[in-house]
Chain A
Amino acid sequence: SQKIEQNSEALNIQEGKTATLTCNYTNYSPAYLQWYRQDPGRGPVFLLLIRENEKEKRKERLKVTFDTTLKQSLFHITASQPADSATYLCAIQPGRRALTFGSGTRLQVQP
């Protein structure tokens, strides 16, 4: 069956370090992959989109990689800050089908 897996355990890191979150998928061939941030009780907010023919995408302190051979995307936040504490969701879209979300990984950045 098709699955998107994100680490359900919270990731705790110290301020200033780089946070790395993982999104693995099986039985999909997504053309696009997106990352979102969600704060408690609020709707997700779009961060980055990466296409299957792009290996890496950057936006300010954020970096996303997309490895279609490993079926994995990595999401990095460099120089992390307590304000980066949130749940991060990956979402994939296989072709013209609907967008499907992973269950998210909670990041806690300690001051």
Chain B
Amino acid sequence: EAQVTQNPRYLITVTGKKLTVTCSQNMNHEYMSWYRQDPGLGLRQIYYSMNVEVTDKGDVPEGYKVSRKEKRNFPLILESPSPNQTSLYFCASSFYREHANEQFFGPGTRLTVL
């Protein structure tokens, strides 16, 4: 089944404790991205990647890191989480020709930073 998977789905952590949220897709997509969604603010892009070893900042990259060492995986790293990073996070992927095509979203990761 074609899908985007994220782990963990739920996470409660404390300020300053490094964490990684994994994202994997099995559709051979070039384009992958991370979003956070907060009430009233909608989906905001954190980072995106147009292919292996190519990443770029989205609208809200501060406090996050990503890497794209393999085509299928795009982990999101929070080196020192803070309470303002409490949010619902989505990973998405798509083919990328001259434009980003239909985005496939993962099920989301609900993160709480105490």
Contacts and interface: CB of A to CB of B under 8 A. Distances in A.
Interface stretch (A14-22, A65-73, A74-82, A101-109): A101-109
A13 B103 CA distance: 28
Interface residues of B, number: 27
Given A32-B99, A43-B92, A93-B100, A99 B45 contact: yes
Interface of B: 4, 33, 35, 40-45, 48, 56, 58-59, 88, 90, 92, 98-108
Contacts of A45: 105
Interface of A: 8, 31-32, 34, 36, 41-46, 49, 89, 91, 93, 96, 98-104
Contacts of B48: 98
A49 B97 CA distance: 14
